[in-house]
Every structure is written in C-alpha cells, then in structure tokens.
C-alpha cells in the first residue's frame, strides 16, 4: 500500500530531472566480480586478461548458470521508485557499446525489482567472461542512462553453488616501535589480526640468528609468553644471510585447527596466526616501521561502508571493537569459531551474519557459511534450528530467494519436527533421534544435545564446580529454550513456504508454530510468578528461559513488562553468545534503558572489559575467568555490531531486500547519534538529537526504490509532529508515533505539547 501511494503521488512529476544511471551492480550478490587478485593482493587487471598470466591469480567465479542480477537505483528526486528496467548482457564489451548484445536483452521490463532479477538469456558457458549493463525508469517519468559495464567470470563448473571473493592480503606496518635494548625491538600493530610476518633485516655475517616472538597479549611491557587459554603466542628462530634481505616468517600449523573438520587456509595465503605484537631479539641495527610488515589475511572489507557515532564514548568504542571483529575474523573465507578450532558453528555464523550485514554491503560469505552448515551441522539441538534463522535472514537482507529454493527441504527438516511428542513439544531425550531424522539434517554424529548456552557449567561444560554461562539452567526432557527455537523455526519455514509458493506448507507450518507457542505458554509458563520455567518437571527459572520467549515473540504481551523486570534481576547471566538474544529480547520489549546499560557497561561482564583486558577483537567470553580456554578472536562476541544498527538505531528490513525499511530508534538517554549502514539497495543514513522529554529530531536519508516506516517516541499524550516541516498526525502505537516516508532526505520533529 505504501509503495502504491508513492507511485500515484509522484507519477509524472519531475519529467525534466537529470537522469542518474544505476550503480553498484551485483551478480549473485557480488559487487566486485571484475576484481582480480594476485596471491591475495588486488590488482587493476581485468578478468579477460588472465590467460596471459604466469602468476597465480584469484577471482570470484560465478557458479550459477542463471545468476541473479542487482543494482542500486539513483535519483536526486525524493520519493523515487523504479518502475521498469532494461538489462543487456553480452560476451564482449563492444557488443554492449553498440547495444547489440548476443546473450540477453531484457527489453523494457515493467518491474520495481532491483535486487534479484534472474538472468533469462542464452545459457552461460563455463570458464567464460561476460559483460552487462542496466538502465531504469522511475515513477517521476525519468529514464536513466545505462550504468557502467560490469564484467564477471564463470567457473569451470556451473553447479549453482554460492560464489564468494578470494581472501585478500593487506600489508600493515607497526603503529609503534620501541627499543628493548641489547639488540631488541618491540613492535605494536595497534590491533590484533590474522596474518604472517615479513621482516627486512641486516647482518654482517652468515652466523647471526634472530629470535621472533609473536603474540596477542602483553605482560609488563613485553609479549606474554604464557598467556593461557587459546590466546596465541609463538616463537621463531630466523637464521640470517650476510647483507640486507627480506625474510618471511613461516607460520607453523597448529594440528587442532589445520586438520579436518577445520576450514583450511588456501595455498596462496599460507598459514596464519593471530597476533598484535612482535618482538625481535638479537638484531642490532635499529628497526623502522618499513622493516616490519604484517601480511594480514581477511575477506575483502570496506571500512567506510558503515559508520556510527554517539554521545556515549563507551558505546562508540564498543561499536568499533565489534565492527573490526567482523573483518578480522573473516580470515578463513567462511565464518568459523575463532582460532582454536576454525570450525563453522551455527551459533557463531548467525551472529556473524547479522553483524556482517550491518557493517559492509556483503552477503556472499554469509550465504556460503550458512549453506556449508546445512551439510556440516554441529551437535547442539538449538543450533540445528538456527539454520532456518540464517536462511530467512539471508532472504530478508538480500531479497534473493535462490538459497531458500535450493535448500527448502533441508530447512524443513531442520525444524526438528520429528522430535515432537504428544504434548506438542519436542525433546531430544524421548527416543526420537532416529537414524532417518539425523540423516535428514545431515548430522553424522551419534545424537543431538541441548545446549542453552556455553559453557553450560565450568570449562567445556565438564567441571561442575564452576557455574558456567547458562544461569544454572536445569535440563529436563522438555526444554523451554529448545522449544522456543522450535517455534521460531516453524514460524519462519511457514514464511519461506509462502515466498516459494508452497501454500499447503505455509498453512501447515503456521498452524504448527501457533500450537507450539500455545503449549509453551500453557505448560512452561508459571502464571503465579510471571516467568517461564526452564522446562517441565522443574521450578527453576533462568535468564535464558525468560529471554528466548521474549526475543522470539512467544511471551504474551501483557506479561512482557514482568519478564523484563525478571531479566533485569538476572543481569548478564549469559555468555557473549547469549547476549545477542538477551539484547534482542530487551529491545523487542522496548526496554531501551536496560539495552543501553548493557551495551555501554564497563563491568567485568561487558564488551568494554574486552578492550580493558587488552583484546582488539571480540572475545569468546566476557573474561578469562568465565572460560579459561577462550580465544581472543571470536565473532560470536560481536553482537553490538548488529544490535546497535538494528535495535538501538532501529534500522531493519520489513520487506525482503529492504523494499520497506523500518526505522525505530530506541536511544534512551543518548543526546545524539548518527549512523550509516549499508543495504542491498544502497546506504541508509539515520541521525537523531533530543532534548529529553521535550523534542526529538530524526533525520533520514533513504535509498531510492525503498520506502520507510518511521517510529518516533511519543513524548506525551499530546504531541506535535512535523515531517519536512509539514504537520502530520501519525499513528499511535504504544509509546511510539508511526509514519511513512519515501526515499531521499527527510526530517522528523516530534515535540511535547504542554
């Protein structure tokens, strides 16, 4: 309805506006398909010239015989919606120049789709290079010029698998070097990263040997040689040749993370180690920053794609920590659980996925990781069902249904409906983990086990003398957290079925979700206390039993405030993984004050404590105290990277591919904040200022071909709202006033009326 309004309201307007061509063209979600790498370093060489190379090169190769194409619609006119497009695709750029494409000319096609247009031309051939361009028409009657030409290469095998970029290598120099005396130097790169080391050293004889120490933490001004847990430290001996030469320190493989089922590093990057600090001993000439190079390995990342700043300095530092964590932990090209194992786990991947969407316009590594886990699932019951959450998030943020279509039957199996008992709940303890069920979800282990949070108690969930991170959760045959996930998986599979046109499944899974929700509230909710029990046959109530029903919308609306009070009483009695869902619950319940308190806390269980401990990447646990074997490079600890944009600033897709955007800031006491966050349709800018209780001003810049639903705080029962200086009434929804707007820059001011 909203889109139709803007089509009618602005049809025919602005006929003389200057046309802007589409930009940021994507092929199967990849924007830089024409970017070529030599051993991880980007070059300016086009893919068509790879046949002339003697060097080892890498590029993203499209593996889909009928890829999906997308672009960003551009317009200086507010409230712009695409009404039609024309795509040309050819086997040479000259054909596009003369507008005689040999593969496909879509002609003018009436459609507002700009994010996932399926290629329907002649069959693409393997190991070939293709070129394409696009133009658009909009609701103002403006016909754009054609875009710049974008090329892409196809793989030798067109098997439909998700394409992704090669890993990138970046040379980084120390931000500080100091002398250690007696021929020693200490170098600090400023931030931890995965990489190798390259040194330029001098010697007057052939018998000199230098000692190189690499580490993630320091103690008394030197690299900590015994940091504990999985915090990394390594030492190398490097024999020198006479003269000045450049040496590469070969990183030794760690048996635990370089053998199956770990994700292995490619040969063009070699093995890597996470380190921030470097000490060189027994080298007497003074070293400068140009003599020491960390060859950092990461998935291609645009540091300027997302920006955030607020009136809270701690919150700003937490944002930067978590944003950088997404880049640093992408070193394997697949989302993994940190350096200890380098194994993909659904829980890590789900949080990593949401964070990556929020800090870069990048979707392929998330889809690849999700699809990898479809066939390589891990043992926790809840995490099996997280595959459904990842599949839906992929579609919601990209608008591209290809992955849902390809793995639809797998996603249905991962609802774990086969574990359902007569009471309507599922259980892993009642003998229903049959070989057929495990085979359907591709699990090759003996059985699934409920996890709730990790560690459940003590290190690795084994030493019961330590409390762990599950808030004393009591495991029973019917687990509240497991069944909350089951409800959410059923609900989302119903939506997925609707997207794919499976009407019968849509109705069936919606009905099943409703029944599970009803049974959770009937059997597991303690009405006298107003809280959820951990499960049947126990009266124990943990933070987790309360936060997951609120996060997933199971809790009755009349009970949410009471559940919020209970969650506050438990504090951060969950792991850094669990904090993702605690914050989802807190903000979904509109408890903005508690959300901000958690995000900006400086206590021991906080993101700020990770910085205070010395890490520059989010850690696996709040502190070594809570997980003595933890590592300092775990993306599942980076929840604020998605919670700040999605919940505090309130920017989320209401319709797939950001066709409709919801902007619902919950700032509490922040006096001002500004953010730029990417979307598949273009960058979204939101900023606010407030004079607490009196005036709240929100400014937005919405990409063309999108519309927005804007939620503003209702400062009192009597208020005045203006949008671009025009008085509007808006719609009251609880403590918010809701209005709608189109693309472009808009200013909303809501004030208290005395």
Report d(CA 739, CA 710) in Å as an integer.
Answer: 5
Confidence band (pLDDT; 50, 70, 90) for 462?
Answer: very low
Q: Beta-carbon neighbour count of residue 456 at 10 Å?
A: 21
Kindly give, in sequence order, each residue whose CB lies less than 8 Å from that of residue 475, ignoring residues fewer than 6 positions away.
450, 452, 534, 535
Fold of 307-648: Glycosyltransferase (1.50.10)
Angle at 320 between CA 314 and CA 321, to 5 degrees: 90
| Max intra-chain CA distance, the chain | 85
The phi and psi torsions of 611 (rounded to 5 degrees) equal -65, -45
Q: Using an 8 Å Cβ cutoff, are 263 and 332 in contact?
A: yes
What's the rounded mean pLDDT across residues 179-184? 90
Q: Using an 8 Å Cβ cutoff, are 323 and 643 in contact?
A: no
The pLDDT value given to residue 6: 43
What's the rounded mean pLDDT across residues 422-433? 97
What's the rounded mean pLDDT across residues 696-715? 97
- Does the 168-298 domain belong in CATH 2.60.120.260? yes
Among 30, 36, 41, 295, smallest CA distance to 168 is for: 41
Handedness of CA 44, 47, 52, 53 (dihedral sign): positive
**Bridge partners (DSSP) listed for residue 245:** 201
Q: Using an 8 Å Cβ cutoff, are 160 and 406 in contact?
A: yes
Confidence band (pLDDT; 50, 70, 90) for 7?
Answer: very low
The phi and psi torsions of 164 (rounded to 5 degrees) equal -150, 170
Q: Beta-carbon neighbour count of residue 511 at 10 Å?
A: 12
As to burial, measured by CB atoms within 10 angstroms (0-12 exposed, 13-18 middle, 19+ buried), residue 752 is: middle
The pLDDT value given to residue 8: 36
> Both tokens of residue 592?
């903005």
The pLDDT value given to residue 130: 98
212-248: pLDDT as tens digits: 999 999 999 999 999 999 999 999 999 999 999 999 9
> Both tokens of residue 303?
């540091």
Fold of 656-752: Maltose phosphorylase, domain 3 (2.60.420)
The pLDDT value given to residue 17: 55
Kindly give, in sequence order, each residue whose CB lies less than 8 Å from that of residue 396, ignoring residues fewer than 6 positions away.
653, 656, 657
> Both tokens of residue 78?
């507010």
What's the rounded mean pLDDT across residues 671-682? 98
Helix (H) or strand (E) holding 243: strand 243-249
Summary mean pLDDT of the chain = 95
The pLDDT value given to residue 465: 57
Length of the chain equals 754
In this predicted structure, the answer to whether residue 651 has a pLDDT above a threshold of 90 is yes
Class of 2-154 in CATH: mainly beta
Question: pTM value?
Answer: 0.96
The pLDDT value given to residue 464: 53
Confidence band (pLDDT; 50, 70, 90) for 4?
Answer: very low
Among 208, 167, 505, smallest CA distance to 364 is for: 167
Q: Beta-carbon neighbour count of residue 145 at 10 Å?
A: 13
DSSP state of 645: I
The pLDDT value given to residue 284: 86
Among 635, 660, 662, 639, smallest CA distance to 651 is for: 662
The pLDDT value given to residue 12: 39
As to burial, measured by CB atoms within 10 angstroms (0-12 exposed, 13-18 middle, 19+ buried), residue 698 is: buried
The pLDDT value given to residue 15: 42
279, 452, 527 from 423: Cα distances, Å: 62, 21, 19
Report d(CA 224, CA 63) in Å as an integer.
Answer: 46
In this predicted structure, the answer to whether residue 492 has a pLDDT above a threshold of 60 is yes
Report d(CA 642, CA 365) in Å as an integer.
Answer: 16
> Both tokens of residue 258?
């370089």
In this predicted structure, the answer to whether residue 11 has a pLDDT above a threshold of 50 is no
The pLDDT value given to residue 18: 65
DSSP state of 359: H
The pLDDT value given to residue 285: 86
Domain spans, the chain: 2-154, 168-298, 307-648, 656-752
> Both tokens of residue 397?
């943020």
Q: Using an 8 Å Cβ cutoff, are 286 and 185 in contact?
A: yes
DSSP state of 175: S
Q: Beta-carbon neighbour count of residue 499 at 10 Å?
A: 15
Handedness of CA 528, 534, 540, 545 (dihedral sign): negative
What's the rounded mean pLDDT across residues 298-323? 98
What percent of the chain lies above the pLDDT cut of 90? 92
> Both tokens of residue 262?
């770990």
What's the rounded mean pLDDT across residues 654-681? 98
User: What are the E-state strand segments in 444-542?
Assistant: 525-526, 531-532
What's the rounded mean pLDDT across residues 57-76? 96
Q: Using an 8 Å Cβ cutoff, are 387 and 414 in contact?
A: yes
Report d(CA 48, CA 57) in Å as an integer.
Answer: 12
527-586: pLDDT as tens digits: 999 999 999 999 999 999 999 999 999 999 999 999 999 999 999 999 999 999 999 999
Report d(CA 364, CA 359) in Å as an integer.
Answer: 14
Q: Tell how far CA 172 is from the center of its chain.
A: 25
Among 474, 552, 495, 475, smallest CA distance to 520 is for: 552
What percent of the chain lies above the pLDDT cut of 70? 96
Q: Using an 8 Å Cβ cutoff, are 702 and 742 in contact?
A: yes
The pLDDT value given to residue 693: 82
156-171: pLDDT as tens digits: 999 999 999 999 999 9
350, 415, 513 from 494: Cα distances, Å: 20, 11, 8
The phi and psi torsions of 371 (rounded to 5 degrees) equal -70, -30
**Bridge partners (DSSP) listed for residue 722:** 727, 749
In this predicted structure, the answer to whether residue 14 has a pLDDT above a threshold of 60 is no
Per DSSP bridges, beta strands 209-215 and 233-239 are: antiparallel
Least confident of 46-60, 282-296, 310-324: 46-60
In this predicted structure, the answer to whether residue 286 has a pLDDT above a threshold of 90 is no
Q: Using an 8 Å Cβ cutoff, are 449 and 476 in contact?
A: no
What's the rounded mean pLDDT across residues 497-521? 98
How many Cα neighbours within 13 Å face the side chain of 327?
A: 24
């Amino acid at each position: 309805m909203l889109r139709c309004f803007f089509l009618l309201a602005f049809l025919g307007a602005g006929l003389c506006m200057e046309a802007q061509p589409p930009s940021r063209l994507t092929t199967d979600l990849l924007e830089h398909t024409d970017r070529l790498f030599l051993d991880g370093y980007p070059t300016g060489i086009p893919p068509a010239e790879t046949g002339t190379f003697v060097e080892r090169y890498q590029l993203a190769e499209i593996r889909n015989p009928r890829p999906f194409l997308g672009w960003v619609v551009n317009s200086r006119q507010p409230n712009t919606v695409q009404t039609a497009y024309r795509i040309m695709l050819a086997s040479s750029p000259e054909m596009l120049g003369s507008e005689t494409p040999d593969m496909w000319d879509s002609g003018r096609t009436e459609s507002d789709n700009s994010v996932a247009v399926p290629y329907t031309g002649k069959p693409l051939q393997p190991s070939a290079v293709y070129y394409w361009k696009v133009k658009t028409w909009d609701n103002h009657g403006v016909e754009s010029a054609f875009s710049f030409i974008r090329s892409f290469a196809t793989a030798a095998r067109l098997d439909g698998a998700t394409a992704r970029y090669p890993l990138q290598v970046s040379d980084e120099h120390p931000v500080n070097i100091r002398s250690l005396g007696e021929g020693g130097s200490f170098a600090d790169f400023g931030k931890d990263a995965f990489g190798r080391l390259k040194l330029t050293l001098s010697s007057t004889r052939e018998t000199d040997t230098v000692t190189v120490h690499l580490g993630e933490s320091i103690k008394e001004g030197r690299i900590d040689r015994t940091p504990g847990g999985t915090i990394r430290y390594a030492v190398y001996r490097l024999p020198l040749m006479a003269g000045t030469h450049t040496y590469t320190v070969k990183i030794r493989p760690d048996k635990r993370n370089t053998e199956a089922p770990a994700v292995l590093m490619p040969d063009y990057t070699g093995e890597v180690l996470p380190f921030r600090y470097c000490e060189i001993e027994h080298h007497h000439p003074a070293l400068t920053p140009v003599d020491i190079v960390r060859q950092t390995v990461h998935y291609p990342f645009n540091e300027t794609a997302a920006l955030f700043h607020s009136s809270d300095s701690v919150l700003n530092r937490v944002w930067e920590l978590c944003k950088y964590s997404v880049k640093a932990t992408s070193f394997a090209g697949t989302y993994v659980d940190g350096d200890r194992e380098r194994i993909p786990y659904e829980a890590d991947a789900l949080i990593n996925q949401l964070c990556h969407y929020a800090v870069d316009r990048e979707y392929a590594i998330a889809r690849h990781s999700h699809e990898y886990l479809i066939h390589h699932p891990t043992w926790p019951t809840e995490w099996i069902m997280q595959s459904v959450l990842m599949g839906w998030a992929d579609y919601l943020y990209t608008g591209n249904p290809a992955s849902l279509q390809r793995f639809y039957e797998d996603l249905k199996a991962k609802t774990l409906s086969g574990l359902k008992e007569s009471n309507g709940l599922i259980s892993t303890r009642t003998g229903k983990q049959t070989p057929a069920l495990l085979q359907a979800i591709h699990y090759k282990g003996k059985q699934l086990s409920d996890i709730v949070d990790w560690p459940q108690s003590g290190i690795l969930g084994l030493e019961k003398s330590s409390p762990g991170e599950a808030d004393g959760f009591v495991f029973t045959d019917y687990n509240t957290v497991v069944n909350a996930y089951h409800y959410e998986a059923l609900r989302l599979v119903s939506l997925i079925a609707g997207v794919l046109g499976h009407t019968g499944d849509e109705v069936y899974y919606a009905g099943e979700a409703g029944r599970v929700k009803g049974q959770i509230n009937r059997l597991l909710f303690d009405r006298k206390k107003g809280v959820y029990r951990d499960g049947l046959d126990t009266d124990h109530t943990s933070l987790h039993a309360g936060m997951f029903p609120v996060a997933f919308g199971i809790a009755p609306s009349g009970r949410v405030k009471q559940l919020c009070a209970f969650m506050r009483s438990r504090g951060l009695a969950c792991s850094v993984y669990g904090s993702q869902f605690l914050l989802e619950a807190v903000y979904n319940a509109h408890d903005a004050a508690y959300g901000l308190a958690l995000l900006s806390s400086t206590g021991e269980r906080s993101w700020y404590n990770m910085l205070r401990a010395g890490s520059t990447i989010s850690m696996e646990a709040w502190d070594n105290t809570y997980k003595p074997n933890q590592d300092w490079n775990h993306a599942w600890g980076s929840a604020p990277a998605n919670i700040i944009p999605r919940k505090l600033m309130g920017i989320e897709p209401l319709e797939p591919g950001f066709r409709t955007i919801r902007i619902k800031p919950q700032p509490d006491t922040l006096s001002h904040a500004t953010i730029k966050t990417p979307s598949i349709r273009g960058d979204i800018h939101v900023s606010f200022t407030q004079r607490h209780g009196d005036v709240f001003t929100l400014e937005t810049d919405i990409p063309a071909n999108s519309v927005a639903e804007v939620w503003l705080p209702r400062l009192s029962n009597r208020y005045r709202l203006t949008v671009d200086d025009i008085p509007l009434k808006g719609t009251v929804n609880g403590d918010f006033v809701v209005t709608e707007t189109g693309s472009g820059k808009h200013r909303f001011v809501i004030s208290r009326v005395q």
